[in-house]
Structure 1
Amino acid sequence: MPDSRFFSSRGPLSLAVLAEVGGAQLVRPDDGDRLIDTVSEGPTATADALAYCASKSAVRRLAVDAGACVTTGVLAAEVPRSVACLTAANPRLAFARIAAALFPALPLQPGVSERAVVDPDASLAQDCRIEAGAVIGANAEVGAGAWVGPNSTIGPGVVLGPRTRVDANVTIVCAVIGADVRIHAGARIGQDGFGFVLASKDEGHVRVPQLGRVRIEDRADIGANTCIDRGALGDTVIGEGAFLDNLVHVGHNVQVGPHVVLAGQCGIGGSSSIGAFSTAGGQVGIADHITVGHKCQIGGQAGVTRDLDDDAKVAGTPAVPVARYLRQAVALERLANRRGQAGGGAAS
């Protein structure tokens, strides 16, 4: 259950209102007047709480004293009679919308802290918020309703679009960022890409100037301590609505398409592209100059060394179609077992 020290509820709200917000249907319309003040895990849900139940086991663990739950139509019959029930085709989406209605983001309090450093040539919208320790460089633009957190640096010429939120200890240089973007604490955006050329044995490596930018489109979400390098000449692009988890690295000139999801510790090599609505599990590595198609699914820890067509589903290193990966795993286990038997010992 959300801790009131950190999250403020705007409830109580009636179930009828919450059903409309979540795009859900009340199983018993008479429950529409029941008031809900919070959300909770099923086993600990109280009379003023709404829980999310996506499986039979979750319904079985649901507290009989819970105020309400949101689930599928198939599972609704399993919900205790004492609990008001909402159904939705996508109950997780309904729950997300209901939780957001009960616990909206705190309203922005416009202003510039006395302990912020703002260059006189920077352009700040009147209703933005700049926290203590933040640095805003020359010719930077901070849009209406944007928020720059404590000790974050917005470099010269950087553009932050309306309602974009930059959390604490973020650095942004050489970047143009759209509206409603969320950049979590410690992210590093727009620094030099990893570009160099070997001159000679004596001189060693010579850095290639990185003269591009980072462009982050509207409603993207950038995780904590994620690093996005600027392009060498063109832009590194994070598409509209893309979600990058914590500790993701995006190399220079990478093109991340709209609504792509990259889980923690993914690394995307320079000049690669990832098509719209593709997903990559944790610790996926994509080599440089790779093209990943639209709606691809890449299993955790996979290593992608070849281009992927649209709708590909791959796993393993090097990444291969999931069916082949599973056959390889079975064949390897059988081979290990045969060798163990031939050697007179049991396979571990």
Structure 2
Amino acid sequence: MFHLLQLTCAVAAPPEISGEQTCSVWAVTGPASSSDVTVIDPARSNTILDQFSLPPTSPALCICAVPPTGDTAGTVWIGTLDGGVLIHSSSSSRRRCLQSVSLSEGVHSLTYSQGEVIAGLANGTLAFFTHSSGIWDLQSQEVLSLGAQPLQPVRCCLAKEGCLWVGYWNKVYMISVKIRKVEKSFTVSERSEQQVRFLCAAGSGVWAACRLDPILRLFDWTTGRPLQEVDLSSVVTKALGSAFLSLSPLQITAMSVVSGRLWVGTGSGAIFSVPLSLTSESCSIPYCSLASAQLCYHGHRQAVKFIISAPGCRSSSNSADGAATTSQLILSGGGGYINFRIGDDGSDGASESVLQRSERSHMIIWQSPTPSVPSPAL
């Protein structure tokens, strides 16, 4: 477990991106006016690899790890509220900004797809960045407007096999990255004011969730056909009891697929792990059964900000002979920390400094369980 102030977002830079022997995690923190970056090795979570401040113009909203593409190095991209795109080295000289550009709109998402980086902007527009001669061409990006009114930021994109799924209002737009064209769109929620905020792929399906909503929806990756819909409300209330019956804790606030399981973060700070019926990565439909959902006893006091996976982490602590092994870790970020088995013990005469420490933003780190032998409790 690792605590930071005011976590915003995070990304893992695996060895194939960083060029280093182990995975690193970049976490963005800071007040409303600026942001700091803390880089850690999640296998040795108390070890800070680097820490630096971004230019004090506006807060960072999103972060993305970009693999070596053509002649370009492995890099980490950061998008800011005032329209900045900052490219940093993902290895030893992390503090140095290699390239930057200032766009006319805030950057709310960054997504890598087959040699390009797509920025989701505050005015409902996508900006496509390409590269040449070993550097990224940031000055002449192509743009595609989704057009739906009123305008909303593009906060949610998912890239796979040259296709980009974009959540915008209550719909998903399926876009060909190559020709910059919307090929299909479909409705996720019948409530027009809903906003699709989370998309994650598994096998031949995509799980989607909307803002202020406890419902998980599964769609076919190729056609967008709805396949499954499950309401998380009953699982949350059953696991946490009547103290968590208000609207906010039932909302889905983070989502990720890791090692054949759907990890879901909620407004209560609780995290659930749901096994998927994933038999083949290429052709299976990742249906889930809420009856098999597990509450992660370690959680946050406030809404879960993100859940990410960190593959390729090297550690010597898990092997009997001390030899280094690699594993995949799962990290969540959110305000405060709580053990749901014990509850909130802040009233038991704890000192003020302990309480203040428990209210800080924390990252919680799990080692990925073997999908075929799920743990009875995480």
- Higher relative CO (CA 8 A, sep ≥ 6), structure 1 or 2? 2
> Which structure is higher in helix share?
1
> Which structure is higher in strand share?
2
TM-score between the two structures when normalised by the length of structure 1? 0.29
TM-score between the two structures when normalised by the length of structure 2? 0.27
Rg comparison, structure with higher value? 1
